[in-house]
Amino acid sequence: MTAGPEPALRRGRVAAYLDELQARFDAGAGRAGVVDRHYRIGGRLVRLRLAGPAVVHPFTRALAHLAADAGPDPSLTVRVADATAVAPPPSPWARPGGPAGGDGADGKPALHVRDGSVEALFQLDYPAISLYDRAARAGFFWTASAAAVPSYELGSPLRAIFHWWGLGEGWHVVHAGAVGRDDGGALLVGKAGSGKSTAALACLAAGLAYLGDNDAVLAPGTPPRVHGLYCAAKLEEAHLRRRLPALSPLVGSGDARHRGKEVFFVDDAAGVRLTGGFPLRAVLIPRIAAGAGTAALRRVPPSAAVVALAPSTLLALPGAHRERLRDLVSMLRGVPAWVLEVGEDVASIPAAVERALEAAG
């Protein structure tokens, strides 16, 4: 799911819309039976308030490895509901017109609106609304039907809300896998189909620490620090069985497919090491090398890492593009980067990753 620049929508009433949604949620809580779940993301306590059992699994399964006990003063509270629990009020915005957000070829799959401290993302394809109030540190996710949540949402739920909240913490949700050791790891960056998931899952199977195959949280520091977000992964079933047989028991553990890939949850596998985070030591850019055998490393300048990471990260999530690009460049400028050429021998990838981490110090 991606969003372009803000369209020319009528502004100024989105905050009131969020207030009304929250009021309707609270008024309907008794009927739906609110389920509270807590998670620790990047060391911060997050509370999800889920309106009824139907929305629990789709929006919490990928966060199961981050489950935490309830505590006072969560850093973020997110209400989650579908139309069976909360009927949305009439929307306060006009139907967007014109080439920026209209009916033609320039239309976007998601619309982003900012109203003071409130951010909103309207995902028009299934449909859903993500809202976040920076001042209140409160989010709201509404969708028409929890039963119709697309597979990418199952694998990376509430991503826009975590993204906005993270910006307030100085973090960035980035389009990257992340693997390594507790004392330092690597981001795996690149466009879809470049081999990020294959590389990440090969490392998972080999016992390296795993933070994700497609999303991670990057926090500034010297060095920057990577936090995990989701325990889901996506890979073609046949590819997983053929190249990563140790993980074949995971096939069928998920319940959805996305663009021909199965979405499954890696914490279902025995012996996996899902770590909370590690210092960023290296950036690896997987490339499928046709005809090659073992995985190989080729050193590239930091700009290559930025080109591989920043555009898809910026375009996948709404808002603060200029600031996010600046911060990503700042964080990646001093991190050594390699192209990770992935050949037929997938089992050789973890050793190549470890060589990069050794070389990075």
Q: List residues near another protein by CB under 8 A.
A: 2, 4-5, 88, 90-96, 101-111, 122, 124-127, 129, 142, 144-145, 148, 150, 191, 301-303, 306-307, 310-312, 314-316, 321-322, 325-326, 329, 332-333
Helix segments in 87-236, DSSP class H: 151-155, 159-169, 196-205
Contacts 24+ apart (CB under 8 A), 259-264: 260/236, 261/197, 261/234, 261/235, 261/236, 262/234, 262/235, 262/236, 262/237, 263/151, 263/152, 263/154, 263/155, 263/232, 263/233, 263/234, 264/232, 264/233, 264/234, 264/235
Angle 134-138-139 from CA coordinates, rounded to 5°:
100
From residue 61, give the alpha-carbon distance in Å to each of 64, 84, 126, 218, 294.
Answer: 5, 20, 19, 22, 35
- The nearest distance, CB 64 to another protein, in angstroms, is 25
- For residue 289, the one-letter residue type is A
Q: Where is 15: in which H helix or E strand?
A: helix 14-32
Choice between 145 and 248, CB closer to another protein: 145
- The nearest distance, CB 325 to another protein, in angstroms, is 5
d(CA 228, CA 338) in angstroms, rounded, equals 22
Choice between 191 and 241, CB closer to another protein: 191
- The nearest distance, CB 170 to another protein, in angstroms, is 18
Choice between 55 and 204, CB closer to another protein: 55
Judge contact between 319 and 131, C-beta under 8 A.
Answer: no
- The nearest distance, CB 195 to another protein, in angstroms, is 14
- The nearest distance, CB 257 to another protein, in angstroms, is 12
- The nearest distance, CB 324 to another protein, in angstroms, is 9
- The nearest distance, CB 11 to another protein, in angstroms, is 14
Choice between 105 and 270, CB closer to another protein: 105
Choice between 190 and 228, CB closer to another protein: 190
- The nearest distance, CB 184 to another protein, in angstroms, is 22
Choice between 4 and 276, CB closer to another protein: 4
Sign of the CA dihedral 97, 99, 102, 104? positive
Choice between 36 and 106, CB closer to another protein: 106
Choice between 70 and 315, CB closer to another protein: 315
Which residue from 316, 300, 318 is spatially nearest to 174, judged by alpha carbons? 316
Q: Where is 303: in which H helix or E strand?
A: helix 302-316
Which residue from 298, 361, 308 is spatially nearest to 335, judged by alpha carbons? 361
d(CA 312, CA 244) in angstroms, rounded, equals 27
